[in-house]
Structure 1
Amino acid sequence: MAVRKVAITLPEELFEIVERARAVEHRTRSEMIQEALRTHFGEAVYVPTDEERRQLVAALDEQTQGTTRDWGQVRAQLHAEQ
């Protein structure tokens, strides 16, 4: 697949949301923004369960407080609970 580099400008609050989420999920900015665009334009993407969303929000909250959990451990815990 061919790729193109694009520069975008984000309001500070959107930039912080992307940064917090990518830190927790161990993903790149490009991956986060690509997923947001796919979601916006209706391309099928992974949709987390309510429990996954709850744990992601908790992890994001911990990130703001200066603590983090390893996303691999969070995923393993979620899969174990299923």
Structure 2
Amino acid sequence: MKAIRQKDQQWIVEEFIPRLLTSPLLRMASIVSNDLFNRMEIENMLQRSGGLGNIVIRDFNNTDEALKWLRMPFEKEVPNVAGGAS
């Protein structure tokens, strides 16, 4: 992904993240973008929204690693606002 349009960033912060926080989601995998500005924008959106609460987010370099982590039995982890590279 490249840069995220300002209008889309606003929607994510105001609409998507609040809905995500009220969902039953416990963890989320993110495939890290190669674009530095995209990664910075995502981190900024998470900070502006106050983070993801108790949802554990982890960054991955590929889909296979992400799916393997998501399929593992859930164990309570300390949430990481910007994700933790794995």
Range into which the TM-score falls when normalised by the shorter chain: under 0.3
TM-score, with length taken from structure 1: 0.27
Higher RCO (CA-CA < 8 Å; seq separation 6+): 2
Answer with 1 or 2: which has the greater Rg.
1
Greater per-residue strand proportion:
2
TM-score, with length taken from structure 2: 0.26
